[in-house]
Amino acid sequence: MPRHFSIPNFIAKMVVGHEFGAWRVLRVVKRERKDGHPYLDCRCVCGVIRWVGQLDLISGGTKHCGCLDDLFAKRKQPVKQTLQSLHPKEHTAWKNIRQRCFNSKGNHFANYGGRGITVCDRWKNSFKAFFEDMGPSPGPEFSVDRINVNGNYEPTNCQWALAHEQARNKRAIRKLVWRGIALTYAHWSSLTGIPANLICYRVSLGWDAHKVLSTPKSKTASRVAAKELAEEKRAARKKKKLEAEIARGRRGRVWPPRILRHKPSNQARVRLKGKDYYLGEYGSEEAEKNYIRFLTDHRPDGPYQEREPQFWVI
């Protein structure tokens, strides 16, 4: 086969004079495309002459110059409007509640169908009945919420609600009961103006509901309460971390600290939390008494690793 032989060019010469759709191939253009296929000089039935790629012509990618768009265009059939197509958000919500209650392989089945929550017979197989009872969603940010979190999906127990409203209506949420009314801390906060974290802190102090909600908010008290609560949480995290480290046999507080010798002055000293405590002359009875008194005064409250006290031999 000669070196100058090209299969695309050979095919192009064979199609000269043939018709493809409304195009008729006149000749091969010397210029080639990047993919190696040549251009063909073609004439449309309307008289327009244009370069057309050989691959587009043979594969049917182009059939005319654009003059026959109305002829080749597909007639669009009118789309039948259904209740599902007119209200896709509501239909999706209806499908989701059925998935939660009846699909045992679903991710949320354990919290709904697994707990015995189901969909009422009227809604179970009829989106039309669901839409008639619930109506259209007030907005894109609304979703279906059950008033009683342990009740079923039924007309008397469902409503459209926002995300923050649903967050207040959960099983695990803590509520404060006052005069027979049980509301979340966030809900009481919006009604009384007292911050939710301050209500939570007052409850942790053992205050009754009347005192929690009737005591006016004070900026100083709020700052002090928030600071004390943050310190308690920080201390609890530190204690938990230390207990875990000691349980694993890793580093932690070791008691009692070792006696160090300050060579220039021959003084016995103990270092605790980055601070040096001088006990007296190294090896003396005074230093030994001060060391025993130090162990009594500075014994830690939390967990620590025990080791034998260090005494020197004179």
Last residue of a domain, one of 140, 167, 194: 167
Is 1 a domain residue? no
Tell me, what's the pLDDT at 253?
A: 60
Is 149 a domain residue? yes
Mean pLDDT (the chain) is 78
Is 110 a domain residue? yes
Residues 104 and 159 in one domain: yes
Last residue of a domain, one of 72, 100, 118: 72
Tell me, what's the pLDDT at 4?
A: 46
Q: How confident is the model at residue 123 (pLDDT cuts 50, 70, 90)?
A: very high
Is 11 a domain residue? yes
Q: What percent of the chain has pLDDT over 70?
A: 77
Q: Cα separations (Å) of 118 from 16, 23, 127, 153, 154?
A: 71, 64, 15, 6, 9
Residues 96 and 163 in one domain: yes
Q: How confident is the model at residue 304 (pLDDT cuts 50, 70, 90)?
A: low
Residues 161 and 94 in one domain: yes
Is 239 a domain residue? no
In this prediction, residues 142-170 reach a mean pLDDT of: 87
Residues 55 and 119 in one domain: no
In this prediction, residues 20-40 reach a mean pLDDT of: 79
Residues 107 and 128 in one domain: yes
Write out pLDDT tens, residues 68-119.
776 655 555 566 678 878 889 999 999 999 999 999 888 888 889 888 999 9
Task: Give the structural domain span for 199.
Answer: 175-218
Better-scored residue on pLDDT, 103 or 59: 103
Q: What percent of the chain has pLDDT over 90?
A: 12
Last residue of a domain, one of 48, 72, 96: 72
Residues 156 and 98 in one domain: yes
Is 67 a domain residue? yes
Is 264 a domain residue? yes
By mean pLDDT, which of 52-56, 141-145, 237-241, 249-253 is the weakest? Answer: 249-253
> Does residue 293 have a pLDDT over 70?
yes
Is 298 a domain residue? yes
Residues 123 and 194 in one domain: no
> Does residue 210 have a pLDDT over 80?
yes
> Does residue 15 have a pLDDT over 90?
no
pTM: 0.41
> What is the bridge-based pairing of β-strands 181-184 and 254-255?
unpaired
Q: How confident is the model at residue 219 (pLDDT cuts 50, 70, 90)?
A: low
Q: How many domains does the chain have?
A: 4
Residues 121-128: contacts with CB under 8 Å, at least 24 apart: 122/154, 122/155, 123/94, 123/97, 123/153, 123/154, 123/155, 124/98, 127/83, 127/84, 127/90, 127/91, 127/94, 128/83
Residues 98 and 157 in one domain: yes
Residues 104 and 58 in one domain: no
> Does residue 309 have a pLDDT over 70?
no
Residues 93 and 125 in one domain: yes
Better-scored residue on pLDDT, 198 or 258: 198
Write out pLDDT tens, residues 227-253.
777 888 888 888 787 777 666 554 556
